[in-house]
Structure formats: C-alpha cells, structure tokens
A and B are shown apart, each in its own frame.
Chain A
Amino acid sequence: MNSVPIFRYRYHPFLTVIAAISLILLGIGAAYLVWINMLRDQERLNPSTERVLVTTDGQRIPLTQPSPTVVASATAEATLTAVETQVTLKALVTPTPEIHPLPPERLIIPRININWPVTLADIDHLPKFRGVGWIFGTAFPGTPGNMVLTGHAGGPYATFERLHELQRGDEILVQTESSIHRYRVQTVYETSPDDVLVMAPSDRMIATLITCSGDWIPERQMNARRLIVVAVYEGRQ
C-alpha cells in the first residue's frame, strides 16, 4: 500500500531566496521593535530630557523648574528674606509671570554696557561667539524658578568681563520676543567650580549669572573660581 505524501519539498531557488529575504526583513523589523520598546522603557525610568545636579556630597537634585504655566498668586517680594529686602527696589510692582514661556533673546545690563544675544546652551556646549548661554533645563525669563545665564570672562568670546563690577541693586534686563523682564541684583560672590547648588531650582523668580574668575590653573585648564550674580525678578516692561 502506497502512502500519499502530505508535503513534498521541492527545491525552488527563487522561492528559497524570497523566503530568506522575508525572514531577514522580519528579523530586522522585530529587532527594531525590541530596540524601540527598550528605549521607551529606558526613557520612562531615566528620561534623557532631564538634567540632575550632583553635589560634592553626592546629593542629586533634578534640574526641574516649577511649571511655567503656574500663575503665581503671591508677589515675589513676599518671598524675600530679611536680608534680601534690603535691596532697594525702585518699582515694587507685582511680578506677573509670563503667561507663555518664551526663551531669552538678549541680555542687557546698562551699568556695565552689556547687550548680548542669548541662546540656549548646555554645560558642555557653550557659545563660541560673543553671546550669552541660557543653560538647558533652567527657568524661562519671567517664570518661577532659577534662570541660569553664563558667559565668557575673557578671550575672543568675552561677554561677562565686567560682571564683577555689578553691585546690589543694579538692573538686569532680559528681552524675549514679546517682553523685557527686569531683574535686580541681590548678591555678587565667588564660589568653587563644583558648587552646583548655584544652579539649583528655586520657588522664587531669580536669575543667576555665572562666569569664570580667580587664578588660571594650567594643569586643570580652567580658572579656580566662579563669579556668581544672583538677581531677583521685578516685573516686565
């Protein structure tokens, strides 16, 4: 009794090649989906869009600012400490946060003749032109939080070479597409390069200006100190 074969394989070169290509494409597609899902999971656990300050004692502070859409009900001066209120605020206006956050476009400090363009920058991607960097992840002008601006103190890209001349009470103007935001200098001091708390988020509306200072250390290829100017928001024009 002869058995009837259910399936008999016959070699067809063309079909075999097509099948191989299909399998390879399926494998690539599957690998792509696995890769995308791994990236997505990784982003949920450790978002690449975040910046984290790490202090010398190991403390980790997310560089997340208060929501820019929050409408502050309290006036900014209500949050000032006793020392801060010594600052002479010529116009005690109620600082109204920017309704829609817009990036800074120019930094103007009349007393030391500063008027430079501002662009978004990162700690390791600073301007290579005469301009001021607005550090990624810090607050928008006129919104609650700490807006960090940085510029070179010397060399061909120098913008903050006279920053050390600022004094308490000096006016700092930050221009956006639609407004000019006014800040008033509160403190000027020097600190070490690893004092990252300078950039920490704040519930207040402040601007922190950073540049290099101190002696040049050849072996580390950097200056020994950082000059810090902290200014408090007053309002917009």
Chain B
Amino acid sequence: MRRWISIRIVLLLAVVFSLSGASAQARPAALPSTEPLTVLVDVEGAGRRVTGAYVIRRAMDSSGTVWWSFRGMLDGELEEVDGMAVERWSIDGSVTVELTAFNYPNFRLDELPAQRITLMPGWDGLVVIAGIPLAVKGEYRAPGAGSSPVIIVTNAGRGARTITRLPDTSDPPVKQGEQHQ
C-alpha cells in the first residue's frame, strides 16, 4: 500500500513536469522533432522519499505530446516508470499538463488522484502539489521558448542542505559490525 502511495507521488510529479522515461516502442514510427528536458527530483512526502531523474522529450509541433521517463529511487529502491502526457499552453502563460499513459505494473491511470494539473503564471519557483510545497529551480516554458535544460525540484522551506561528510557507503552492509576492505 505504501509503495502505491509512492508511485502516486512519482506520477503526480510527472503530471506537473511531464516527467519520466519514454520507451522507444511507445513512440510513433515517425517521431516529431522533440526538445529534451531533464528534471531532477528529491522530494519527501507521505513518509516516503523520491530521488530520481525525469527525462522528458516534448514535441516541437503543435500536438503538445510529451514522452517522459523516470529513473530513480523510492526509499532507496530502484524504480523505473515511463509514459506520455499532453501539455497545453495558454496565451496568459498558464500550462495544463495531463498524464495520458504510463507503464507501471498493476497500476492504472484512473487510480491517480489527479491526472491533470494547471500551473498559473507567476508561480515563481514554488508549486504546491498535494499539499506539499516544492521549490523549483529552472524555467519551464513552452517547447522552443527557452526552457532551462535542467530543472531541479525539492521540498520548499528547508533551505540549502549542508554536506559535512562524504557519502557513508558503509551504512547498510557493515552495520552488523563486520569489516571490509
């Protein structure tokens, strides 16, 4: 059950940023020209933590089609999801992103609490999804309008994280007191 909640978080983020890994076979034979976008996510919510990268390819034609893939961790476990979305930009600068398909075993699109999210202009680096405020670094604009090549998303209000130690890779394997190397 908790795993399903985590998957919902991943997919909700996908709705917002049209995120995750598009499988080659899901694409049509004649691909339109696409603009790539990478979104790095490190978000905690519902007692779970999602850390991973979305690779998004946005169609440069007027279709608004987006192919996305996610590769990352849910509480340290490897997860990979991919799918499709449609983004529609309005003259006022708002964008509506709708998740249309994704590939994840035993999980259907209609099980998501929301398949469509609208971002209004002036969001200014802060969005709230499912009650979780998220800080966003980077510009997200219509395809071809100069989006940042990389967008970073983390929980808002925590400030810059400080790193005082190198990664502790002895954590799970040698907690029992065994010695290696």
Contact = CB atoms under 8 A, between A and B. Distances in A.
A119 B167 contact: no
B163 A127 contact: no
Contacts of A196: 163-166
B65 to A, nearest CB: 18
Contact of A119 (B52, B124, B135, B171): B52
A215 B179 contact: yes
Contacts of A121: 51, 73, 167
Interface residues of B, number: 56
B106 interface: no
Interface residues of A, number: 74
B180 A43 contact: no
Interface in A45-66: 46-54, 60, 62-63
Given A102-B36, A125-B42, A194-B164, A152 B73 contact: no
B55 to A, nearest CB: 6
Interface stretch (B11-19, B88-96, B97-105, B147-155): B147-155
Interface in A125-151: 125-129, 131, 133, 135-136, 140, 150-151
Nearest to B152: A49
Contact of B179 (A42, A122, A135, A216): A216
A226 interface: yes
Contact of A117 (B51, B78, B156, B166): B78
B149 A129 contact: no
Contacts of A135: 167
Interface stretch (B2-10, B25-33, B112-120, B125-133): B125-133
Contacts of B38: 100-103, 140
